[in-house]
Amino acid sequence: MPNAQKKGYDFIFPGGVNNTYVFVTDQQIVYELKFKPSSYIFGIQPPFTEFAFEFVIEVAENPLPKLPPPDAGIPPTLVSIFNDFFALNETVVVYVCENIDGHAKARNRKFTQWFEQTKQGKLSFVKFDYRFGTETEFFYTSLITRIDNPRMADVVTGFQKLSVDYSNPEK
């Protein structure tokens, strides 16, 4: 079967404090997707803080001598995991691209590519992209929520305010 026709990988939900999901690719690369409770993201702006999570995707094991290759099975697997995790329509997830190794821009591009590929199916999520920080020191973030989140306007407004406050700390 050609890789482009993949429907996604099976995953397991070991759960835990970080709501961890795990799947293994055809290349035996193990991915962990975590949804860490992160009520602090929005400060003390109720009522949606209890539904806020930080999304982390990690390569837990890579038996290859190089970075994982492109894999058409990953985007539909992400959709399946998001559908599972977003059972409550109030759920809000923030994805922050790590920049420890200077590859934040590449991570942001890859995540956006995966997200865009999933739009070809019946995706029920929306993603808002932001850059937090100054012109020279910043990081990429994405705010993801279900299209039917009854608090979407408040969530987006709160996150935009957070972005402005973070980028202009003297205000």
Q: Select, from the ranges 8-12, 47-51, 55-59, 77-81, the one with the highest average predicted confidence (pLDDT).
A: 8-12
**Lowest-confidence region among 13-22, 28-37, 156-165:** 156-165
Burial class (CB in 10 A: 0-12, 13-18, 19+), 71: middle
Query: Who contacts 103 (Cβ-Cβ below 8 Å, separation ≥6)?
Result: none
Tell me if 95 sits within 8 A of 144, measured CB to CB.
yes
Non-local (6+) Cβ contacts of 153 within 8 A are none
Q: What is the pLDDT of residue 132?
A: 77
Environment class of 108 (CB within 10 Å of its CB; exposed 0-12, middle 13-18, buried 19+): buried
* For range 58-69, the mean pLDDT: 93
Phi, psi of 100 (to 5 degrees): -55, -40
Residue 13 is predicted with a pLDDT of 97
State the chain's mean pLDDT as an integer: 83
For residues 25-48, give the mean pLDDT. Answer: 84
**pLDDT by residue (tens digit) across 86-118?**
888 889 999 888 777 777 888 888 888 887 776
Task: Express each pLDDT in 134-151 by its tens digit.
Answer: 777 778 888 999 989 998
